[in-house]
């Protein structure tokens, strides 16, 4: 399946591999519903923040499967979650790691309870999605924030627009994409102030979730001719029925 994806341009978004490693944290026996029970005063969404320079370009890719090879959801709120403390979420058997950083590049701790993931957030805090690729493969990353595709602002789908994560590289997604050169920074805020609540394609009901879908892809050969070349001057010869076999 062929498609077009965005690939970040420049060191601002494509960095040398830096694998986030989980650190030891205590497991706590808590009710399964304790973390999922988020009170109204703890709920947060993501607002349309300051403009950040973020150059990108469109590339043609071929998806190697019809469906994602892995998916993940992280819930966030102004709440102290309980469980195992992580630096990153391991995706696709550890070949891709997802972590979150603040404006100063500090890693925000993630909490895991069973197979669920949570992020303790603070109103007004800016954040970045950080994906690292530890493999030789190329991946398409479809990311959603509050139920919206971070590139198009459309209602999120696992078949939506994607970023390219190159082998042994890092992809930083700092905000909702405004155009090919800038994004509006992700900033935690009240759900009523969220971009999802102020977009015709969003809903306040979807605030507080960050989604990821991963595909393995092959970059198409963009150097191949896209149009018929101009005619060349050739000697007059007999027509050939199977010229490629000569």
From CA 76, how far away is CA 122, in angstroms rounded? 10
Residue 182 · residue 53 · CB < 8 Å: yes
Torsion angle, CA of 42/46/50/55, rounded to 10 degrees? Answer: 140
Q: Residue 26 — pLDDT band, cuts 50, 70, 90?
A: very low
- Mean pLDDT in residue range 161-171: 97
Mind listing the pLDDT tens digit for each residue in 174-229? 999 999 999 999 999 999 999 999 999 999 999 999 999 999 999 987 655 556 66
Query: What is residue 213's predicted lDDT score, i.e. its pLDDT?
Result: 98
Mind listing the pLDDT tens digit for each residue in 123-159? 999 999 999 999 999 999 999 999 999 999 999 999 9
From CA 183, how far away is CA 55, in angstroms rounded? 9
Q: Residue 122 — pLDDT band, cuts 50, 70, 90?
A: very high
Instruction: Give the pairing type, strands 126-133 and 96-101.
Output: antiparallel
What percentage of residues in the chain have a pLDDT greater than 90?
Answer: 75
- Mean pLDDT in residue range 233-239: 62
Query: What is residue 22's predicted lDDT score, i.e. its pLDDT?
Result: 36
Residue spans per domain, the chain: 2-18+42-223
Task: Read off the DSSP letter of residue 5.
Answer: E
Query: What is residue 30's predicted lDDT score, i.e. its pLDDT?
Result: 45
From CA 89, how far away is CA 86, in angstroms rounded? 7
Give the number of C-alpha atoms closer than 13 A to the C-alpha of residue 219, restricted to the C-beta side: 15
Task: Read off the DSSP letter of residue 104.
Answer: T
């Amino acid at each position: 399946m062929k498609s077009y994806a965005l690939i970040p341009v420049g060191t601002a978004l494509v960095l040398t591999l830096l694998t986030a490693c989980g650190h030891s944290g205590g497991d706590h026996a808590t009710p399964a519903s304790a973390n999922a029970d988020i009170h109204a005063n703890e709920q947060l969404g993501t607002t349309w923040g300051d403009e950040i320079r973020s150059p990108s370009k469109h590339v043609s890719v071929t998806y190697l499967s019809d469906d994602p090879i892995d998916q993940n959801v992280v819930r966030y709120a102004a709440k102290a979650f309980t469980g195992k403390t992580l630096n990153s979420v391991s995706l696709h058997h550890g070949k891709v790691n997802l972590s979150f950083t603040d404006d100063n590049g500090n890693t925000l701790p993630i909490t895991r309870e069973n197979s669920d993931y949570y992020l303790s957030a603070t109103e007004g805090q800016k954040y970045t999605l950080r994906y690292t690729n530890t493999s030789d493969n190329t991946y398409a990353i479809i990311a959603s924030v509050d139920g919206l595709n971070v590139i198009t602002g459309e209602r999120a789908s696992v078949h939506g627009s994607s970023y390219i994560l190159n082998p042994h590289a890092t992809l930083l997604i700092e905000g909702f994409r405004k155009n090919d050169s800038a994004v509006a920074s992700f900033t935690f805020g009240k759900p009523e102030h969220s971009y999802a609540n102020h977009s015709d394609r969003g809903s306040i009901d979807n605030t507080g979730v960050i989604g990821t879908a991963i595909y393995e892809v092959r970059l198409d050969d963009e150097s191949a001719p896209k149009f018929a070349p101009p005619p060349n001057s050739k000697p007059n010869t007999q027509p050939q029925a199977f010229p490629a076999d000569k």
